[in-house]
A and B are shown apart, each in its own frame.
Chain A
Amino acid sequence: MAYVHGKDTVITVATKDISPHCKTSTYEGSADVHETTGYGKAAKTKQGGLLDGKFSMGGTYDNTASTGPRNALKPLLGTTVAVVRKPEGTGTGKPQDAFSGVLSKYVETNPVDDMVTWSAEIEISDVVTTTTQA
C-alpha cells in the first residue's frame, strides 16, 4: 500500500489523450438508495438501486490541434464519448476505468491575469468497467 500522486493520471476521451492539458479530474460514483422500511421497525431499512456516475476534469487551455481541449472536446458536446481513466498512470498491474458518457458541459475561463483554463463534465452512461492494466 502506498500513497499515489496525481501527476501521472492518464485520461483519454474519444481515444485522444488529453492528460497533458489536465490539472484536475474527479470520478464520482453514486447509486440510488430505496427505502424498504416496513411496519414495526425502529430504524429505516434501505436497499441499493441503479448505479450512476459523473466524471469531471479541467486544466490549462492549449490550442494543440488534435488533443487540445477546445479541439478535442468542444465538438463532442452532447454526444456519447468513450473515456479511459488511469488513476495511477500507465503500467502493468495498475487500475483502469473505462466507461461511456454524455459530454454534458464544456467551459472555458479567461482570467485577465492568468492562463486560460477549461473544464468539462461527463454524465456516465451504463456501467464503469474496472480492469487491471496488462
Chain B
Amino acid sequence: MNLEAVAVDLSTALKTITGLRVPPWGVEKITPPAAIIALPERITYDGTYGRGSDQYPDLTVVVLVGKPAERSARKAVAAYADGSGPKSVKEAIEAHTYSSCDSVRVAWAEFDEARYNAGGPYLAAIFHLDITGKGA
C-alpha cells in the first residue's frame, strides 16, 4: 500500500463532490471549500503474516469551509459531515472503488477552527479514515 497512490485515490473520490476543491499537497493557498488530505498518524505494518497487510489506522481529511462565525459555513460543514447525501464526505469516500488499497472507512469526524498557511481561520470538519491494504 503506497501512501501517494492512496492519496490519489482519495482525491479522485473527493472530487466527485460538486464544488469541493481538492488541492495538491503543498499548495500555498487554498480557496474554500477545500479538502486537504493529510498524512496518516502512523502506518501499522505486518497486520498479517508474510507482509500480507498494512494499515493506516488514522488518516485525516480536513475539509475547510468559510469563516467560523458565518452561518453559511456551519451549513456547509454540516452537509460535508452528513452520513449520506450529495455533499457527504463519508459517502463519497466509501463509494469509491480503490486500486491502491482494499478497504477505506470514514470512522469518525470532529470539528475545529483551522488555518492553512496564512489563510483562515476556517471552520473545519476533520474526517478520520481507517485504511487497510496489501503489505507487499
Taking the closest CB of chain A, its distance from the CB of B9, in whole angstroms, is: 18
Residues on B facing A (Cβ under 8 Å)? 46-53, 102-103, 107, 132, 134-135
B49 near A6 (CB under 8 angstroms)?
yes
Answer whether A23 and B50 are a contact pair too, CB < 8 Å, given A115-B103, A115-B132. Answer: no
A11 interface residue (CB < 8 Å to B): yes
Q: Is the interface of A mostly helix, strand, loop or mixed?
A: mixed
Cβ–Cβ < 8 Å partners of B53 in chain A: 20, 60
B50 near A20 (CB under 8 angstroms)?
yes
Interface flags, A1-29, vs B, CB<8A=1, else 0 = 00000111111000001011111000000
Taking the closest CB of chain B, its distance from the CB of A33, in whole angstroms, is: 33
A21 near B103 (CB under 8 angstroms)?
no
Cβ–Cβ < 8 Å partners of A115 in chain B: 103, 132
A9 near B47 (CB under 8 angstroms)?
no
Taking the closest CB of chain B, its distance from the CB of A64, in whole angstroms, is: 10
Taking the closest CB of chain A, its distance from the CB of B122, in whole angstroms, is: 30
Cβ–Cβ < 8 Å partners of B48 in chain A: 19-23, 59-60
Taking the closest CB of chain B, its distance from the CB of A71, in whole angstroms, is: 16
Taking the closest CB of chain B, its distance from the CB of A89, in whole angstroms, is: 8
A7's nearest neighbour on chain B, judged by CB, is B46
Cβ–Cβ < 8 Å partners of A59 in chain B: 48-49, 52
19 contacts between A and B (CB under 8 A): A7-B46, A7-B49, A7-B51, A8-B50, A9-B49, A10-B49, A10-B50, A19-B50, A20-B52, A20-B135, A22-B49, A23-B47, A59-B48, A59-B49, A59-B52, A62-B102, A89-B50, A113-B107, A115-B132
Taking the closest CB of chain A, its distance from the CB of B48, in whole angstroms, is: 5
Cβ–Cβ < 8 Å partners of A7 in chain B: 46, 49-51
Taking the closest CB of chain B, its distance from the CB of A16, in whole angstroms, is: 13
Taking the closest CB of chain A, its distance from the CB of B133, in whole angstroms, is: 11
B49 near A19 (CB under 8 angstroms)?
yes
A21 near B52 (CB under 8 angstroms)?
yes
A90 to B102, CA, bound (A): 26
A21 to B50, CA, bound (A): 9
Taking the closest CB of chain A, its distance from the CB of B69, in whole angstroms, is: 35
Cβ–Cβ < 8 Å partners of B102 in chain A: 62
A23 to B50, CA, bound (A): 10
A113 to B128, CA, bound (A): 13
Cβ–Cβ < 8 Å partners of A19 in chain B: 48-50, 52
- Of residues 82 to 126 in A, which have CB atoms within 8 Å of B's CB atoms? 89, 113, 115
A19 to B48, CA, bound (A): 7
B102's nearest neighbour on chain A, judged by CB, is A62
